[in-house]
């Protein structure tokens, strides 16, 4: 009877040890898989914006350390891209697909594998004379939307004429509008950005 009891205890210990060992292997396996996946995620996050007044929405090519890593036809369709860069100085080149608006900068990664952010924006403000008709139209549309119950369609042409007389190049200058040539700009943050 004692032998049966001993055998039961030993078999229980053996089963529980084997179960613990199997559980440990399963946990280690999934930990290793997560490490493999997370190691390939990347630490440089690149996002895009079009700040042009005319919504140019250009194409974009990114070259990191002399290798083309990303190309897109329109930056508005791009999602945040991730790249893996080790600590050190890296060369970043940005242009459109036709190599216009070329920009070359250096960034310094000092916190691998922590997150770094590179914001690529396209800037363009047309000349005062080119932007004036568009601004007048936008102003008119906002005015009509705001006062849609006060004016009927017959009055729209006189309102448009008044806006055209009041808003000129000097008005744009006083409103702090400044022409900017077409260009890409980059902003680099070597730490995570947290929004409150």
Give the per-residue pLDDT at 35: 43
Tokens 């922590």: give the residue: 114
Q: How far apart are CA 167 and CA 177, in angstroms?
A: 13
The 8-class DSSP code of residue 78 comes to P
How high is the pLDDT of residue 185? 93
User: Which residues, listed in sequence order, are joined to residue 89 by a DSSP beta bridge?
Assistant: 108
* 0.75 surpassed by pTM: no
Q: In a structure prediction context, what are the per-residue pLDDT tens digits for the chain, which is 196 residues long?
A: 667 777 777 777 778 887 887 878 776 666 544 444 444 567 888 999 999 988 899 999 999 999 999 999 999 888 888 888 888 899 999 999 999 999 999 988 888 778 889 999 999 999 999 999 999 999 999 998 998 888 888 888 898 999 999 999 999 999 889 999 999 999 998 766 555 4
Between the alpha carbon of residue 190 and those of residues 31, 58, 78, 108, 113, the distances in Å are 27, 26, 22, 8, 11
The predicted structure's pLDDT at residue 34: 44
- What is the per-residue pLDDT for 112? 78
* 59 contacts: CB under 8 Å, gap ≥ 6: 71, 72, 73, 74, 75, 96, 97, 98
pLDDT for 1 equals: 60
**Cα–Cα distance measured from residue 65 to residue 85, given in angstroms and rounded to the nearest whole number:** 10
Chain Cα centroid distance, residue 8: 62
- Between CA 85 and CA 112 the distance in angstroms is 7
In Å, what is the CA distance from 133 to each residue of 89, 136, 168? 45, 5, 9
């Amino acid at each position: 009877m004692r032998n049966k009891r001993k055998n039961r205890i030993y078999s229980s210990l053996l089963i529980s040890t084997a179960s613990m060992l199997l559980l440990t292997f399963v946990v280690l396996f999934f930990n290793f898989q997560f490490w493999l996946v997370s190691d390939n995620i990347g630490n440089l996050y690149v996002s895009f914006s079009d700040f042009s007044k005319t919504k140019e929405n250009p194409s974009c090519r990114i070259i990191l350390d002399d290798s083309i890593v990303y190309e897109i036809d329109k930056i508005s369709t791009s999602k945040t891209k991730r790249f893996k860069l080790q600590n050190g100085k890296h060369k970043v080149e940005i242009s459109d697909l036709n190599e216009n608006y070329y920009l070359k900068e250096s960034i310094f990664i000092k916190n691998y594998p922590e997150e770094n952010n590179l914001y690529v924006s396209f800037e363009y403000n047309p000349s005062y004379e080119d932007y004036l008709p568009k601004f007048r139209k936008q102003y008119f549309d906002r005015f009509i939307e705001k006062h849609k119950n006060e004016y009927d369609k017959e009055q729209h042409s006189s309102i448009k004429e008044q806006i055209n007389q009041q808003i000129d190049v000097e008005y744009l200058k006083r409103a702090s509008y400044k022409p900017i040539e077409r260009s890409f700009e980059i902003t680099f943050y070597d730490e995570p950005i947290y929004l409150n």
